[in-house]
């Protein structure tokens, strides 16, 4: 049965789940679903990124727990998991850490597979996120797959981005490209009960990139997500950032989303497997094959 937009807006989770499946797999009718989306209220999208083992899933679990205790009525979660090499589906490992919320009617958790996306996000993540923003949630949390320094794509999706690190992440920060450091709005030092957390937090603030010529608007928050410690303060900082986000940042965000959707549409008829076959045929015919002349045909 084709999902109904009105049912989705009224909080029908089964209709939402069906709609996500239709959109993610581009089943006929998915474009009509996307064109019918209309946000009745502003729903912030919070991106959670960082290297593997930093505790992103545990932090998401704790954010859900504390948000529900505060004022949130409904929370949507998109967990971008690594793809299975066999069927391209999500492995669902991160959802095991959120099992206490599985049966909570106020929480909707959906996994998306990266399907080869290098930036920690599924290629369909923008469309699915916009779909969830239209489903009456108070917050939408997006957790990336944890592939490290290439996760800058989250900035094209989220209103605010959390970069989750641990006290032992000194070497990881040295290895990270500036991109992932620059896209973070809030740095979260998780597992702050470990040795060196205070010193790491101080050094992180002193070495973080400057935004707008100063870094006074960037904060470093220490948490112990497994015990929900520091998460109340983190939510206060998140809400403060959301309230004071400049219009220029919103414009840049929408422009980046539009650019990526246009790029996806323009590339939809380009197959890497087909390109490999065509190049193989060209190489057999002409040993002086020029990749630039070949690519200019496209």
Q: The CATH number of the domain where 117 resides is what?
A: 3.40.50.300
- Please check whether residue 182 lies inside any domain of the structure: yes
CA distance 257 to 37: 15
Domain co-membership, 145 together with 1: no
- When mean pLDDT is compared across 91-100, 167-176, 219-228, the lowest value belongs to 91-100
Order of strands across the sheet that contains 75-81? 107-113, 75-81, 139-143, 45-49, 160-165, 186-189, 219-222
Dihedral pair phi/psi, residue 72, rounded to 5°: -65, 135
Q: Is residue 276 part of a domain?
A: no
Same domain, 31 and 87: no
Q: How many domains does the structure of the chain reveal?
A: 2
Cα–Cα distances in angstroms (integers) from residue 89 to residues 21, 86, 112, 120, 142, in the given order: 12, 8, 8, 15, 17
| pLDDT, mean of residues 163-181 | 71
Q: Does residue 90 surpass a pLDDT of 50?
A: no
State whether 33 and 46 are in the same domain: no
User: Are residues 47 and 66 located together in one domain of the fold?
Assistant: yes
Percent of the chain scored above 70 by pLDDT?
A: 78
In a domain, 68, yes or no: yes
| Position with higher pLDDT, 258 vs 183 | 258
Domain boundaries, position 29: 1-38
Q: What is the mean pLDDT of residues 55-71?
A: 92
Residues 101, 120 within the same domain? yes
Residue 146 has pLDDT above 80, yes or no: no
Euclidean distance between the first and the last CA atom of the chain, given in angstroms as a whole number: 38
Band the pLDDT of 190: cuts 50, 70, 90: very high
pTM of the predicted structure, to 2 decimals: 0.83
pLDDT confidence of 95, banded at 50, 70, 90?
low
Q: Is 24 inside any structural domain? A: yes
State the SS3 of 106-159.
CEEEEEEECCCCCCCCCCCHHHHHHHHHCCCCCEEEEECCCCCCCHHHHHHCCC
Indicate whether 25 and 58 sit together in one domain. no
Does 109 lie in the same domain as 145?
yes
Q: How confident is the model at residue 231 (pLDDT cuts 50, 70, 90)?
A: very high
**Does residue 187 sit in helix, strand or coil?**
strand
Q: Pull the structure tokens for residue 206.
A: 């002193």
Residue 119 counted as domain residue: yes
Name the band, by pLDDT with cuts 50, 70 and 90, for residue 45: very high
The pLDDT of residue 178: 57
Tokens of 97: 């850490």
Do 11 and 79 fall within a single domain?
no
Are 146 and 172 spatial neighbours (Cβ–Cβ below 8 Å)? no
Q: Are residues 71 and 184 in the same domain?
A: yes
How far apart are alpha carbons 263 and 270 in whole angstroms?
Answer: 11
Beta bridge partners of 148: none
Decide if pLDDT at 94 tops 60. no
pLDDT band at 157; cut points 50, 70, 90: confident
Helix (H) or strand (E) segment spanning residue 77:
strand 75-81
Q: Is the pLDDT of residue 2 over 80?
A: no
- 95 or 33, higher pLDDT: 33
Lowest average pLDDT, out of 5-9, 71-75, 273-277, 283-287, goes to 283-287
Token pair listed for 80: 């971008």
Coil vs helix vs strand at 103:
coil
- Give the span between the Cα atoms of 29 and 34, in whole angstroms: 9
């Amino acid at each position: 049965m084709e999902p109904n937009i009105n049912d989705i807006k009224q909080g029908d989770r089964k209709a939402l789940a069906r709609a996500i499946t239709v959109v993610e797999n581009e089943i006929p009718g998915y474009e009509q679903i996307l064109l019918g989306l209309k946000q009745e209220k502003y729903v912030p999208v919070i991106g959670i990124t960082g290297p593997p083992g930093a505790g992103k899933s545990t932090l998401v679990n704790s954010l859900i727990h504390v948000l529900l205790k505060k004022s949130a009525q409904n929370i949507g979660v998109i967990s971008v998991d690594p793809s299975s090499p066999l069927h391209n589906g999500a492995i669902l490992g991160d959802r095991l850490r959120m099992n206490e919320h599985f049966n909570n009617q106020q929480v909707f958790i959906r996994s998306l597979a990266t399907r080869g996306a290098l930036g920690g996000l599924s290629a369909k993540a923008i469309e699915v996120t916009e779909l969830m923003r239209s489903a009456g949630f108070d917050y939408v949390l997006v957790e990336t797959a944890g592939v490290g320094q290439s996760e800058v794509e989250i900035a094209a999706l989220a209103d605010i981005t959390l970069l989750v690190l641990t006290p032992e992440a000194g070497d990881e920060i040295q290895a990270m490209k500036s991109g992932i450091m620059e896209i973070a709005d809030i740095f979260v030092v998780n597992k702050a009960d470990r040795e060196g957390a205070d010193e790491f937090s101080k050094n992180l603030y002193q070495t973080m990139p400057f935004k707008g010529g100063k870094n006074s608007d960037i904060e470093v928050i220490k948490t112990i997500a497994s015990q929900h410690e520091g998460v109340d303060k983190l939510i206060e900082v998140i809400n403060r950032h959301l309230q004071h986000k400049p219009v220029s940042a919103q414009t840049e965000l929408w422009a980046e989303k539009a650019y990526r959707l246009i790029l996806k549409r323009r590339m939809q008829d380009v197959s890497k497997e087909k390109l490999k076959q065509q190049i193989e045929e060209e190489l057999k015919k002409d040993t002086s094959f020029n990749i630039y002349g070949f690519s200019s045909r496209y």
